[in-house]
Amino acid sequence: MCFTPIVSLSFAVIEFTLATILIVFFKKTYLRDFFAAIIYVLGSYQFTEFMLCTTSHPILWAKLGFIAYSFLPAIGFHAMVKIFKKKINLFWIYLIPFSASLMAISSSNFIINAQCSRFFVDVFFNEGIGLELIRNLNYWLYMTYYFGFIVLSLFIVIKDFFHQKNKIKKLIDEDIAIGITLMMVPTFILIVVFRFSQIKFPSILCGFAIFVAITAFFAVYLESRKKNFNKVFK
């Protein structure tokens, strides 16, 4: 589901480097830890694509890649909830990605094939698992979770943007909104539109993920420029 294999490794190295720079060189702030975690997960996803192409266990690495990108909306939404001081039980945030990951790990035929083509990694999921109703329910529940959390995160950021008077904070909101949009639009197109049009389309989600990592890094940089860190999100 990504470019093969050197591009995936290059993106992973860039993202791991960006996240490590945030941890080592940036003062602890509201954004730093959450966004470093998001960038590390993005890098882990890229790394699984590289390992899928270069090892003898492609199915295993395909499952690990699925688990990695399944947690991205939850971590992002968790970050927005904490940063903007919204109240929600973390159990409900992580229930679906945890359940989907457990299904991927426990099912021996969750993924039926994973391979490298000339330019892309192709992963084929077993759409025959379970009864028709249950299968469709699982798919729509997962899609609702994925896009729902992304949309909710974007809504929280935009709402704060229009009520925020601090110029740096407004710029941070704008940067975060761009990063969320870069994740939402290609994900919607590649996962939903091409699924229903019956087109076999290799995902280039990782190409957009690198921009998400960069916008996240820039948001932490902007926050670090604020002299009084404790007042940034008040």
Name 115's bridge partners.
Answer: 122
- Distance in angstroms (rounded) separating the CA atoms of residues 1 and 119: 10
Using the predicted structure, report yes or no on whether residue 47 has a pLDDT greater than 80: yes
Q: Give the pLDDT confidence of 53-86 residue by residue, as tens digits.
A: 888 898 999 899 889 989 999 999 999 998 888 8
Which of 98-107, 127-136, 176-185 bottoms out in mean pLDDT, i.e. has the lowest? 127-136
Longest dimension (CA), the chain: 57
Residue 229 confidence class, pLDDT cut points 50, 70, 90: very low
Mean pLDDT confidence for 212-232? 75
pLDDT at 131: 45
CB proximity list for 96: less than 8 A, separation 6 or greater: 74, 141, 142, 145
Instruction: Report the candidate in 185, 150, 2, 4 with the shortest Cα–Cα distance to residue 79.
Output: 150
The pLDDT of residue 22 is 92
Say which residue, 206 or 107, is predicted with more confidence: 107
* Whole-number Å distance between alpha carbons of 127 and 223: 44
Contacts 24+ apart (CB under 8 A), 186-190: 187/146, 187/147, 187/150, 188/147
Q: In 3D, which of 63, 83, 11, 78 has the Cα closest to residue 40?
A: 11
Based on DSSP, count helices (H) and strands (E) in the chain, helices before strands.
Answer: 8, 2
pLDDT attached to residue 199:
43
CA–CA–CA angle 207, 138, 46 (5° rounding)? 20
pLDDT above 60 for 49:
yes
Supply the mean pLDDT for the chain. 81
* CATH for 6-109+130-231 (1.10.357, 3.10.50, 1.20.1070, 3.30.70): 1.20.1070
CB atoms within 10 A of CB 110: 17
Question: Per-residue confidence at 187, pLDDT binned at 50, 70, 90?
Answer: low
